[in-house]
Structure 1
C-alpha cells in the first residue's frame, strides 16, 4: 500500500497546488473559484483514469494522502473526487460538442500563485449564452451534482441552473422542483393572457409564472382525516395547502405572497369567497386560485371571471395590474381548454395538480436520497 501511495506523489502535489491557489483567491469569488477548481481536478482525474494510468483504488489512495498532508481538508474524499470527474466529463461533453479539448490541468496549476488562473471552466462556458455563464458559476457544487444526476439534456440542465440562480433554491427545493418536472411544465398552462392583459411584456411574464401541472406531494390525505382518496374535495385540498402554505408558495413559484384562503368578496350585497388569494410581486397583481377536485368544467371559468371582476373593482389598488386567475383542477382536456378560454376577457389560466396519492412508489423513489447529496463536500467517506 505504501508503494502505491508513493506512486501517486506527483498527483497529490499537483492537486495540492491547485487547492492552495484556489484558496488564495477564494475571498474574491468563492463559489466560482471552487467550481473552476473542481472542474480542473475533474479534468485531471478523468485524463488519468481514462488512459488507464490509475487503477480502481487510486482516488481513495489520493484522498487519504491529501488528508494526511493537509489536515482538516474537507470535500476531497475519493467519492467527491469521482464527482469532480463526472462534473468535468458531463460539462465538457455538453458545452464542447465539437470535441474541442479543454486546457490541460498542468497549465492551470503552473500559473503564478500570486494570480492563480483556474479559468478552464470559464473558457468552456463561452459556448453558452451570456446569462447561463453567470448562472452556472453562482450555484453550489452540490446543486450541480443533483442536476447532473437527475437530468440528461443540456436545455433541462440550464433551466434548473437558472432557476437555482434566480430563485436561490436550497438543495431540498431543487430536489422538489426536479421531482415535479418543472422543466416540462413551466409556462405551458392553457391561458388567455396575451389577449387579455394590456401589455405584451406583462402577458409573457404571466405565462412564465404558471405551470400546467403542480405537484402537491406535501398533502397527505390520511393526515387530513380522509380515508378514501376519492373523498378528497376542495376544502380538504385547501386545508392541506393552508397548513403547508410555505411549501405551496415554493411549488407555485417565485414572487408569490399569501393573502388568505376563503377570501371574502362583497359586491352588491352578494357574498363570494375566493379559495386562495395571492399577490405576485413580479406581476404586481392579485392572483386568485380556485381549487377543483374533479376534471375541468367550463363553468369554472365563469365563476373565476366573476371573482376577478370584483377583485379589480373593489380590491385592486391604483398602482396594481389587473388581477389574474388560475383554475387548479384534477384533470383537463388541454385542447378543449385552449379553445374555450379565449372567449373570456379576464386573464385566466388552467392547471392540473397531483398529490401524494397519485404518485407511484417508483416515482417517489426516483430521485437519489438527499442525505447522500448533503454529504458532498463534507469529506465523510470515499
Structure 2
C-alpha cells in the first residue's frame, strides 16, 4: 500500500472535486432558469389583467395556493414575486450569466438602479465573488463609495474592463469598512492589534481594498545608515503596476504621519521600484483625518499619498447614505 504513488490519490481527488463543483453549478443554473421561466409566465399572464395591480396580487396569491401544497414553501408569494421581478430585470434568457448563482441573482434583483446592478454583475464575474462577498460589497455601498471620487462612466468602464485603472483614486475607498476584523470601536487596541487582525483576515481585507492587490510584506525593515524603520504593510497592485504602502494609525493623522509615509514612498521609489513600474502609492489608514493637513503636508499636485478613514463597524444603509451625502 505504501508503494502507491500519492500523486495518483491527488489526481483522483481533483477529478472528484471538479466533477462535484460542475454538478453543483449545473443544478444551480437549472434552478435559476426555472425561476426565470416562472417569472416569464407570471409576467405575461399579469399583462392580460384589466386592472394589472389588483390582478397581479390576485395571481401571485392564487399561484402560491396551488403550488405550495405540492412543491413546498419555496413557492410562496414572496418567492413568486421575486421570480416575476427577476424576469423583468433580465428579460433575455441568453443574457443570464452562468458565472452567477441564484443567491447572487436574488441580491441583484433587489437593486433598482440598472447601472448599479450592472456594476455588481461585472465586478462579481471579474473577481469571482462568492455570494457572501457580493452581499458584503452591496451592503457596504461599494458602488456609491467609488462614485464619491469618480464619475459613473469611469466606474462602469473599469468594472466592465473597458478602461484600465490609471489613478489611485479609482480604487482606494474612503472610508474603508473593516467590520470583518472583529475589533470593537469602543475598545482599546494598538496599531499592532489592527495590523495583526488585517493579516488574519487578509482575504477580506483584499476584497475591501479592491481590484488587483496582492500582499507583499508586513513590518518591512528599512535600514537608513544606522537607523531602522518598519513599514506596516506592503502590497502590490498589478493594475497600477506599483507598490502600495499602508501605514496604520489608531489616531487622527498628523503631519508627522504624512511625512513618515512620504519617506517610505521615496525609499520604495528609489530602491525597490523597477524601471518599468509606476511610482509607489502610500495610504494612511487612520481613525480620523484632516484633508487640509494632508494637502499642506505634501507638495502641490502630489498624487502618491492618500489618507483613508476606516470604520470598525459597518453602518446601516441609511447611515451610509447620510455619511456619503455629506462628503
TM-score by length of 1: 0.60
Q: Is 1:289 matched with 2:246?
A: yes
Counterpart of 1:343 in 2: which secondary structure?
coil
Partner of 2:281: 324
Are 2:105 and 1:144 equivalent residues in the alignment? Answer: yes
Contact 1:40 1:121 in 2 (8 A): no
Give the CA deviation at 1:321: 2.5
Q: Which residue of 2 aligns with 1:158?
A: 118
Indicate the residue corresponding to 2:173 in structure 1: 211
Deviation at residue 215 of structure 1 after TM alignment = 0.8
C-alpha RMSD over aligned residues: 3.7
Distance 1:313 1:44 in 2: 65
Measured in 2, the distance between the counterparts of 1:267 and 1:142 equals 53
Moved more, 346-355 or 295-304: 295-304
1:268–1:189 distance in 2 versus 1, CA, 3 Å: farther
Larger RCO, structures 1/2 (Cα 8 Å, 6+ apart): 1
Moved over 6 A (4+): 29-34, 360-364
Task: Provide closer, same or farther for how the CA distance between residues 39 and 56 of structure 1 changes in structure 2, counting only shifts above 3 A.
Answer: same
Task: Answer yes or no: is the 8 Å Cα contact 2:39–2:80 preserved in 1.
Answer: yes
Contact 1:275 1:291 in 2 (8 A): yes
Distance in 1, Cα, partners of 2:164 & 2:44:
49
Change (3 A) 1:138 1:353: same
Pick the aligned partner of 2:67 from 54, 62, 66: 62
Whether 2:42 is the aligned partner of 1:45: answer yes
Q: Is the CA contact (8 Å cut-off) linking 1:187 and 1:211 kept in structure 2?
A: no
Structure 1 residue 154: Cα displacement: 2.4
Give the unaligned 5+ runs of structure 2. 1-22, 50-54, 151-162, 321-327
Q: What is the CA distance between 1:318 and its match in structure 2?
A: 4.0
1:360/1:313 CA distance change after superposition, 3 Å: same
Q: 1:360: how far off?
A: 6.7
Structure 1 runs not aligned, ≥5 long: 1-25, 68-73, 93-119, 124-132, 191-200, 223-227, 365-382
Equivalent positions of 1:273-312 (< 5 A) are: 273-312=230-269
Match of 2:92 among 113, 121, 131: 121
Q: Matched residues in 2 for 1:202 and 1:308: separation?
A: 23
Cα distance between partner residues in 1 of 2:318 and 2:303: 40
Q: Note closer, same or farther for the CA distance 1:220–1:77 as it changes in structure 2 (3 Å cut).
A: same
